[in-house]
Amino acid sequence: MLQRYAPCHHLLTVAVHTELDVIASRLRAREIAALCGFRGNEQTRIATAVSELARNAMVHARVGTVRFFLGASRRQQALVIVVDDQGSGIPAARVRAALNGDATPAPGGLSAARRFMDEFEIVTNAGGTSITSAKAFPPQLPNLPASELIDAVNGLADLPGNVALSEANQQNRELSGALAALQAKQNELVEVSAHLERTNRQVEALNVLLKEKADSLVSADRRKDEFLSILSHELRGPLSAAGMAAGLLETGGTPDQSVRLGQLVGRQVRHMSRLVEDLLDVSRVSRGLVSIRRQGVDMRDVIGAAIEQLAASALAKDHRVETALPPDACMVEGDRTRLIQVVANLLGNAIRYTPRAGMIEVRAERNGADLLVRVSDNGIGIPDTLMPHLFDLYTQAEHSPDARDSGLGLGLALVKSLVEAHGGNVSACSAGAGHGSRFDVWLPLAAAHAGAAA
């Protein structure tokens, strides 16, 4: 290896006979490393490598020498260190272990010394061992003139008399510095760990949110499929009836038969028109295009119109519909047609999902600056699992006993959008299946009536 760094300029030789000589070689290695421009940690690594090799020579051969050289390879200067002894040599297996970095069979810290140096070579036989190692100078440093470095090494102060104590103090300082660095790293790791913990919690929260979104999409897709199936059924009946009536009209018949068939076609067309109007309302709601024509509206009249609109349906199921309305006007600023649609949808649901001969109540009462409109029934109730999605599009409860009038699952979504468009809100509650349900609509009273109520 020395030939690769030629010309090599001899800097210093340290004879090793005792443990104190090992310590002296370590001290000199640190001093020479400092003169070569190596920083603190590199100085410690070079000094440790030299002391391990010197101790190996002393233990296995009882005597050795440590020589320091200034060399250069490919125009880069390096500190070259040669440790010689005249022992019985090192077995080939242990040489291979040291060169491969395996500390288990390698004697005297050879593997540690190998890890600390850039290059490492062992020549051993029965007449002794020569270990050559090299450490390249820091790349940012300019080349050192050999004569200057030799003069600097020759000018090194004599080692202190108590070299062991001096080395112990130096190692203590190094350990203190290492402990401080470790503490800083530990603090950094704690901070990184806390950051990872926060990130992990955020990831877990995102996973929960994604799962909820995925479940919501699956549920919406299922409700959409159910809606399309129900819509097909709802359209097939009127179309079949209208088609049958048209066929009978084509075959002729008495005037009375023609009138009845015409009335049948008219009823089916009106039914399909209502379905189409509901679908158009859904489209407007989805795009935020619900138009509200505001004017002063007495909600008592709105409730009366909605009850009148559904009187035939309630009578067909023998329901009793009761009202509890204030004696004075309950004025709100809103669209009369849309407000009738809100109350009619809630009342229609109560009629639809209440078994025959049920009890339905529509109540209105002032509460501060707001008006409460409540529709309650003693019908089939609302399951807890359905409550979170009750006002979503295409959501339906289980079919009522009268499955012929199950609806499309659009009404409550429309109610929510229309009420919110009027500046109000709607909520629902139920004690569970078989215990009826209650829907509360809150609307702001017109300014004059709100002041009177206050």
202-211 tens-digit pLDDT: 999 999 999 9
Whether pLDDT at 189 is above 80:
yes
Cα–Cα distance between 88 and 63 in angstroms, integer?
A: 12
Q: Work out the pLDDT band at 38, boundaries 50, 70, 90.
A: very high
Cα–Cα distance between 232 and 225 in angstroms, integer?
A: 11
Whether pLDDT at 46 is above 80:
yes
Cα–Cα distance between 288 and 421 in angstroms, integer?
A: 10
Q: Work out the pLDDT band at 302, boundaries 50, 70, 90.
A: very high
Of 435, 408, 406, 441, nearest to 422 by C-alpha is: 441
Q: What is the mean pLDDT of residues 181-191?
A: 85
> What confidence score (pLDDT) does residue 74 get?
80
Q: What is the mean pLDDT of residues 112-129?
A: 90
Cα–Cα distance between 369 and 331 in angstroms, integer?
A: 11
188-197, 235-244, 406-415: least confidently modelled range: 406-415
8-22, 106-120, 437-451: least confidently modelled range: 106-120
Cα–Cα distance between 254 and 1 in angstroms, integer?
A: 123
Of 32, 65, 50, 67, nearest to 155 by C-alpha is: 32
Taking the alpha carbons at both ends of the chain, their separation in whole angstroms is 102
The domains spanning 2-159 and 295-453 adopt the same CATH topology: yes
Parse the chain into domains and list their residue ranges: 2-159, 199-286, 295-453
> What confidence score (pLDDT) does residue 67 get?
96
| Architecture field, domain 199-286 | Orthogonal Bundle (1.10)
Fold of 295-453: Heat Shock Protein 90 (3.30.565)
Q: CA 294, 309, 391, 279: dihedral to nearest 10 degrees?
A: -80
User: CB burial class (10 A; 0-12, 13-18, 19+) of residue 217?
Assistant: exposed
Helix (H, G, I), strand (E, B) or coil at 429: strand
Task: Judge whether 428 and 353 are in contact, CB under 8 Å.
Answer: no
55-69, 119-133, 212-226, 429-443: least confidently modelled range: 212-226
How much is the mean pLDDT over the chain? 85
251-267 tens-digit pLDDT: 877 888 888 888 888 88
120-129, 154-163, 169-178, 399-408: least confidently modelled range: 399-408
Fold of 2-159: Heat Shock Protein 90 (3.30.565)
- DSSP code string of 132-174: EEEEEPPTTSPPPPHHHHHHHHHTPPPPPSSHHHHHHHHHHHH
329-352 tens-digit pLDDT: 999 999 999 999 999 999 999 999
Whether pLDDT at 273 is above 90:
no
Cα–Cα distance between 35 and 149 in angstroms, integer?
A: 7
Higher pLDDT, 251 or 44: 44
Whether pLDDT at 182 is above 90:
no
> What confidence score (pLDDT) does residue 269 get?
84
Cα–Cα distance between 255 and 263 in angstroms, integer?
A: 12
- DSSP code string of 91-133: -HHHHHHHHHT-TTT-STTHHHHHHHSSEEEEEEETTEEEEEE
Q: Tokens 């489209």 — which residue?
A: 283
> What confidence score (pLDDT) does residue 396 get?
62
User: What is the separation of C-alpha 424 from the centre of its chain, rounded to a whole number of angstroms?
Assistant: 35
> What confidence score (pLDDT) does residue 447 get?
82
* Interaxial angle between packed helices 40-61 and 19-35, expressed in degrees from 0 to 180 and rounded to the nearest 10: 150
Higher pLDDT, 152 or 270: 152
Whether pLDDT at 177 is above 90:
no
- Between the alpha carbon of residue 190 and those of residues 109, 181, 197, 200, 366, the distances in Å are 33, 14, 10, 15, 59
* Interaxial angle between packed helices 163-250 and 19-35, expressed in degrees from 0 to 180 and rounded to the nearest 10: 60
Q: What is the mean pLDDT of residues 121-141?
A: 91
Of 126, 141, 129, 132, nearest to 64 by C-alpha is: 129
Task: Judge whether 76 and 175 are in contact, CB under 8 Å.
Answer: no
> What confidence score (pLDDT) does residue 403 get?
43
- Between the alpha carbon of residue 235 and those of residues 70, 238, 246, 399, the distances in Å are 99, 6, 16, 18
167-171, 177-181, 339-343, 376-380: least confidently modelled range: 167-171
403-414 tens-digit pLDDT: 445 555 678 888
- Between the alpha carbon of residue 52 and those of residues 43, 80, 129, 308, 348, the distances in Å are 14, 16, 14, 104, 94
Cα–Cα distance between 454 and 446 in angstroms, integer?
A: 12
Q: Please name every residue paired with 439 in a beta bridge, in sequence order, or none if there are none.
A: 375, 428
> What confidence score (pLDDT) does residue 221 get?
82
Whether pLDDT at 165 is above 70:
no
